[in-house]
């Protein structure tokens, strides 16, 4: 696993590919907007004009793309799958639907290529520091082969067969999205009633209500800092993927359904490109506190 191709050099893809370069791996990079991939050249990456060129000599291919349709397009319509060598492992670190991951795995297997769905949690900070949580679905043998690559990026766990990584990511995003709403609503209630939000956050730190969401996103709410790290639009996509998957398997998810509506309304009100903690703004507006 000395040569890794990275397809998708966005907010997550850039710091992750840079870490791979700095770890001494040979990296080839592609992005639809080449200028984003060009930023990796000073770190030693080979910047390619097409996905097929990027993956042609790779031992492992990491995809970090916006959604399942884009992953399918890049792999199967833009020539990447045809250019892969037999024995290559495709590690899809995008957040897509489990059924899409299973479909991609089956199609690649027919060409002698292994597939892992390996979405991540930890945001841009985790990508920069190499502390991502990586949830991996697929065959254990393929996971073992690429473990040294994943170790550069964070802590990886094999959670089951194809699609299981995406299920774990949906669970992660359900918890994140719902907890952001709980923290926002609770802090706004305190402010509306005359309490100091910052002091309330400090008071409940260390208790049962404490969480990383309270500490990180709660602080953003207090500071009104909604610069995009994980966008409202992406959180909405994840909630909709969770609901679509729940419907497929006959599972009722009413809490996720409620929050899908709240994030959708936040998007409708112009908050799509803000950090997902900006659900606070949507709830503040409802209470005349914007």
Tell me the β-bridge partners of 90. Answer: 61, 115
For position 230, what pLDDT does the model report? 85
169 is catalytic: yes
d(Cα 24, Cα 36) in Å, to the nearest integer? 21
d(Cα 43, Cα 33) in Å, to the nearest integer? 18
Integer CA distances (angstroms), 26 to 21, 40, 171, 183, in order: 7, 12, 33, 43
Catalytic residue among 36, 139, 169, 199: 169
d(Cα 70, Cα 106) in Å, to the nearest integer? 17
The pTM for the full model equals 0.90
For strands 132-137 and 120-121, give the pairing.
antiparallel
pLDDT at 290 over 80: no
- Retrieve residue 76's tokens: 């199967």
Compute how many other C-beta atoms are within 10 angstroms of the C-beta atom of residue 20. Answer: 25
pLDDT band at 253 (very low <50, low <70, confident <90, very high): very high
Q: What is the chain's mean pLDDT, rounded?
A: 97
d(Cα 192, Cα 290) in Å, to the nearest integer? 11
pLDDT digits (tens, 9 = 90+) for 178-230: 999 999 999 999 999 999 999 999 999 999 999 999 999 999 999 999 999 88
């Amino acid at each position: 696993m000395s040569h890794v191709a990275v397809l998708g050099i966005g907010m997550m893809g850039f710091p992750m590919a840079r870490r791979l370069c700095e770890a001494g791996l040979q990296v080839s990079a592609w992005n639809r907007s080449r200028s984003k991939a060009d930023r990796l050249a000073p770190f030693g990456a080979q910047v390619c004009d097409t996905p097929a060129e990027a993956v042609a000599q790779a031992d492992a291919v990491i995809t970090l793309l916006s959604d399942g349709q884009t992953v399918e397009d890049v792999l199967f319509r833009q020539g990447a799958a045809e250019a892969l060598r037999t024995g290559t492992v495709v590690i899809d670190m995008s957040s897509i639907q489990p059924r899409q991951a299973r479909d991609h795995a089956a199609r690649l297997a027919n060409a002698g290529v292994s597939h892992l769905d390996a979405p991540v949690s930890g945001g841009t900070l985790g990508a920069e520091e190499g502390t991502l949580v990586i949830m991996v679905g697929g065959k254990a043998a393929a996971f073992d082969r690429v473990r040294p690559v994943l170790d550069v990026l964070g802590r990886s766990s094999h959670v089951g067969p194809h699609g299981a990584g995406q299920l774990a990511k949906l669970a992660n995003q359900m918890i994140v999205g719902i907890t952001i709403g709980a923290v926002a609503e609770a802090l706004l209630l305190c402010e509306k009633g005359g309490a100091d939000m910052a002091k309330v956050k400090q008071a409940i730190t260390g208790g049962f209500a404490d969480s990383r969401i309270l500490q990180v996103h709660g602080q953003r709410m207090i500071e009104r800092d909604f610069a995009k790290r994980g966008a409202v639009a992406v959180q909405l996509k994840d909630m909709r993927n969770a609901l679509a998957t729940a419907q497929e398997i006959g599972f009722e998810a009413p809490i996720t359904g409620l929050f899908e509506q709240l994030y959708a309304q936040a998007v409708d009100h112009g908050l799509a490109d803000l950090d997902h903690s900006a659900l606070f703004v949507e709830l503040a507006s409802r209470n005349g506190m914007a």
